[in-house]
Amino acid sequence: MAEALMEVRDLVKEFPIHGGVLGRPVGAVHAVDGVSFDVLRGETLGIVGESGCGKTTTARLLLRLLEPTSGSVAFEGRDIATLSRRELKPLRREMQMIFQDPYSSLNPHKTIGSIIAEPFVVHGVERDASARKRHVQELMDLVGLNPEHYNRYPHEFSGGQRQRVGVARAIALKPKLIVADEPVSALDVSIQAQILNLLRSLQRDLDLTLVLIAHDLSVVRHMCDRVAVMYLGKVVEVGDAAELYARPRHPYTGALLSAVPVADPRLARAARRQILTGEVPSPSSPPPGCRFHTRCPKFVAGHCDVDEPLLTDGDPAHPGHLAACHYPLGDDEGAATARPAA
């Protein structure tokens, strides 16, 4: 069993809502509300969910780009939420981020050479300018960019190439962990595939641990070893990817999987789609008990709207596959909504 590189325990992030005569906080958006999971060394962990589930906020909390309201994020045993800035800085070399929008995540006033070199400069590595340039050009080559374009500006590149710059920047200091926040959502399908392949090969070659935030379930299935499904600030299911996709236990996971449009007309028309009704409730006033109960096909009044279910084990044959549900899907129910293997 691989050891945990990162341990998240009871992580909470609330954003206060101000109002009233004196502008006092009158409520809060519970963006992340008590989330716990591990990131195992060397794995690719996927975090999926729809808008408002809190996955992007979680990504930022993992790297302490946001301050948690409570809870802990332990990197190699040390809680990064309690460290001072001075103590945190060397840790930042070990954890990096790739952002979603290749158009706004690169400083338009800097050449891509200096963008990729910036991590070196910030952490005082490779002080010699020519050695640094060489190193940057090696990185550019590694991610599939032409090293001769060292002095070009971001606007001269396409979305896919810019994302490669983002990747190069992230791997510059050989971090242990990379958090990729929707790294391919803004790209065309054919380019997506190039970037995903690049991430996979880099992960193998550089022995990286990858946390992939995405809303596209197919992408996550392709890339990830384990998957955590989030809904309205909570993790509702977590486990091995193949297992979770074949036998989802939480009804929300089942609905998500069943909703993905599949590129096979016969399967598409034959599959019994489980279409969810209603909309995601507001994160500032989440439903009591199980948050999903307002849309759940297995809702039981008096239980699901009163007691909040905790992440628990189900099948002893698959330890580590946890679901937060009082009435999880049976093996047959899950399989009906999931896809048959090709």
Partner 1 sequence: MTAYIVRRLAWIVVLLALVSALTFVVFYVVPSTDPAQLRAGRNPSPDLVESIRHTYGLDKSKPAQYADFLERAVLHGDLGYSYGHDEPVRQLIFDRLPATIYLTLGAVIVWLAVAIPVGLISAIRRHSIFDRLAMGIALLAISAPVYWLGLVCLYLFSKDIGQFPIFLGSGTYVPPTTDFGTFFGSMIMPWFVLAASFAAFYARLLRSNVLEVMSEDYIRTARAKGVRERIVIRRHVMRSAMTPLVTVLGLDIGVLLGGAILAETVFNIPGIGRLSYEAIQNGDLPVIQGTVLLGAFFIVFLNLVVDIVYAYLDPRIRYS
Partner 2 sequence: MAPLLSVENLSVSFDTDDGVVHAVDGVSFQLEAGAVLGVVGESGSGKSVSSLTLLGLTRSARTTVTGRASFDGEDLLAAPEERLRRLRGNDVAMIFQDPLSALHPFYRVGAQLSEAVLAHRDVSKQEARDRAVEMLGLVGIADAKRRLDSYPHELSGGTRQRVMIAMALMNDPKLLIADEPTTALDVTVQAQILELLARLRDELGMAMVIVTHDLGVVASIADEVAVMYAGRIVERASTETIFDAPEHPYTWGLLGSMPRLDALDGADLVPIPGRPPSLIARPGGCHFHPRCPYVREAHKVVDPELVAVEDDPAHAVRCLLPSATRRRVWQELRAGVAPERARTDVIEAEEGER
Taking CB under 8 A as the rule, does residue 189 contact partner 2?
A: yes
Residue 133 site contact among partner 1, partner 2, none (CB < 5 to 8 Å, cut-off depends on kind): none
From residue 103 to residue 142, the character string flagging contacts with partner 2 as x (rule: CB under 8 A) and all else as - is: ----------------------------------------
Smallest separation, CB 256 to partner 2 (Å): 6
Two structure tokens written together for 116: 């990729």
Per-residue b or e along 235-250, where b marks 16 or more CB atoms closer than 10 Å to that residue's CB: bbbbbbbebbbbbbbb
Residue 19 site contact among partner 2, partner 1, none (CB < 5 to 8 Å, cut-off depends on kind): partner 1
Among 81, 88, 173, 262, binds partner 2 (CB under 8 A): 262
Per-residue b or e along 13-40, where b marks 16 or more CB atoms closer than 10 Å to that residue's CB: bbbeeeeeeeeeeeebbbbbbbbbbbbb
Q: Indicate the angle between helix axes 85-92 and 112-123, nearest 10 degrees.
A: 130
d(CA 278, CA 48): 20
Residue 41 site contact among partner 2, partner 1, none (CB < 5 to 8 Å, cut-off depends on kind): none
d(CA 309, CA 189): 38
Nearer to partner 2, 45 or 196 (CB): 196
Taking CB under 8 A as the rule, does residue 193 contact partner 2?
A: yes
Cα-trace Rg, the chain: 21
Residue 66 site contact among partner 1, partner 2, none (CB < 5 to 8 Å, cut-off depends on kind): none
Task: Indicate the helix (H) or strand (E) that contains 202.
Answer: helix 189-206
Applying CB under 8 A, the residues found at the interface with partner 1 are: 19-23
Using the rule CB under 8 A, give the single segment among 4-12, 99-107, 187-195, 309-317 that binds partner 2.
187-195
Taking CB under 8 A as the rule, does residue 176 contact partner 2?
A: no
DSSP 264-299: -HHHHHHS---PPPS-PPPTTSPPSSSTTGGG-TT-
Can you give the binding site for partner 2, defined by CB under 8 A?
50-51, 158, 160-161, 188-194, 196-197, 200, 215-219, 221-223, 242, 245, 255-269, 273, 275-277, 279-280, 338-342
